[in-house]
Structures are given as C-alpha cells and as structure tokens.
Amino acid sequence: MTVGAARQLLSVEDVGIRFGGVVALDGVTFDIREREILGLIGPNGAGKTTLFNCLSRLYQPTNGDIRIGGRSILKCPAHAIVHEGIARTFQNVALFQKLSVLDNVKIGGHSRGPRSVTADVFALPSCGRRERELTAQARDVIEFLGLTEVEKKTVSDLPFGTQKRVELARALISRPKLLLLDEPAGGLNHEEVYALGDVIKHIRDRMGVTILLVEHHMGLVMSIADRVVALNFGRKLAEGAPSEIQTHPDVIRAYLGGDKK
Ligand SMILES: Nc1ncnc2c1ncn2[C@@H]1O[C@H](COP(=O)(O)OP(=O)(O)OP(=O)(O)O)[C@@H](O)[C@H]1O
Ligand SMILES: [Mg+2]
C-alpha cells in the first residue's frame, strides 16, 4: 500500500555506534513515515538489533541523532521512552509466565501515568479508579487482538503464537505512536506467521500505529511492509519498496554472502 505524502514520524540521522573495535552501525540514515510499516532486514550481524536498541534507548549511539516528531530522543532514558510514544516487544517473549493475560497487559499500562506513589501506598480512591481504568483499557486491547477468551488464562498455559499476541497487547496498551517489533515471527509456524502479518496490518490500519519490523522472515516482511531498509555490516545498503529490495543486486549479494565491504 502506498503512504502518499505522509509526514515523517521518526528520523534516524547518521547514526553510528561502536563497541570497542567493532563498528556495529556506521552513518545509518532513514525516516519512518506516519502510519507506515517499515521493514528492517539484513544478514546476521548487520546491525538490526543494535539499531533497534538505539531506538528503544538501550544503547547510546556514538554519533548521529534520532528524532521523533522533530525532537531528539537521545537524552531520554530507556524507562521513559513510552512517554515519547514508543513501545517495543522483545525477541524472546518477555511476559510474566505465572500471571494471567489480563495482568500481563495491565503491567504494560502501569509504565504510563498518571499515578502517584502516595495514592498507591495508601490505596486512595484515585488509585482504585486508576485500577478500574487500567482494567478497562487492557480489556479493550485484549478484545482488539482477539484474546478475550483467554484473558483469565495463565500465560505459560498458552501456545507460543498466542503469547506473542499478548506481548503485542501489552505494548499497545500504552497507545504508542511507534511500535518496534523485534523478530516477531521467530518460533512461529507457517499459519501463525501469516496470522501475525494480519494482526500487524490490523494494528496499523485500525489504531494508526506506525511500525518498525525487524525480521528475518522475508515472506512476512515483503508481504506487509510499505518500504524496506536493508543493512549490511552496519551500513544502509538499500531502501525502497519491497519489490525493489527483493531484486536489488547489492541486497541479493549480501544475502548470498559475497559482499565483504
Ligand atoms: N553489546 C555489544 N557488544 C559488542 N558487540 C556488539 C554488541 N551488540 C552488537 N554487537 C556487534 O555488533 C554487530 C551487529 O550486531 P547485531 O546484533 O545488531 O546484528 P543483527 O543484524 O541483529 O544480527 P542477527 O540477524 O544475527 O540478529 C555484530 O558484529 C555484533 O557482534
Ligand atoms: Mg539481531
């Protein structure tokens, strides 16, 4: 689908990061437009996760800038990134396995104000009200993702594909502008991958959330992304529509292992 003249939401400008002698990212520049699904691909070690970690503020770039709505997020600590409108899921499911689906989703809402420690500690009326609001918000997202039937179930009793959906619900309760997905198809079977693709599109289409999708599963990326950025050896190799990237000679060479730039 085309994005037309959509405004840019996030810009990655000349981002570089090194770990000792390893240059993990080098001069990476691209934009993510509002309501876009942007795929980020590249062979192993290309720097995808490193870039993802810079965006979610776990890593501090050595140079360059990352802006959301024109404002740099480089001074924002990782725990406060939700206030900038960014939410993420993890490569390995990071849910509380012994808690219910509903409780896991509500935990995602706790990182978002307004709340006060005093109100929590003394169980003031505002605290009970906040709890009820949170439960209602969680139920909305749970319904949106088709999880209502399992909302009381313990997460460890659910199939992996459903757990991934719970993680999405937990990220969405903060009503992010930008959702960062780190290899969401990992560990899923064929049907689950295609169901996930539909869920991701649904999130974009119905909630207006912009999505950055880091993924090795080319079928998924190429079927749902509006644009794709390809990295190799920490540099941007190509950027364009999925059909352009799939036939781009440098991308093909990088995946075949012949590119030693
Ligand atoms: N914390 C770190 N300390 C040292 N080196 C790191 C660190 N994080 C990443 N690197 C290095 O940065 C490079 C890019 O790694 P990254 O994990 O970002 O690749 P990737 O594209 O996500 O690969 P994969 O597809 O295998 O997940 C690699 O050479 C990696 O060893
Ligand atoms: Mg990675």
Query: Which two structure tokens, joined as six digits, stand for 67?
Result: 């802006």
Stronger pLDDT, 43 or 109, i.e. the higher one: 43
For residue 42, give the ligand nearest its CA: 1
Condensed to tens digits (0 to 9), the pLDDT of residues 152-192 reads: 999 999 998 899 999 999 999 989 999 999 899 988 899 99
Closest ligand 1 atom, residue 50 Cα: 18
Distance CA 195, CA 29 (A): 31
Among protein residues, the one with the nearest Cα to ligand 1's atom 26 is 44
Residue ranges around ligand 1 (CB below 6 Å):
19, 22, 24, 42, 44-50
Condensed to tens digits (0 to 9), the pLDDT of residues 39-52 reads: 999 999 999 999 99
Domains of the chain from N-terminus onward: 8-256 (3.40.50.300)
Among protein residues, the one with the nearest Cα to ligand 1's atom 11 is 24
pTM comes to 0.88
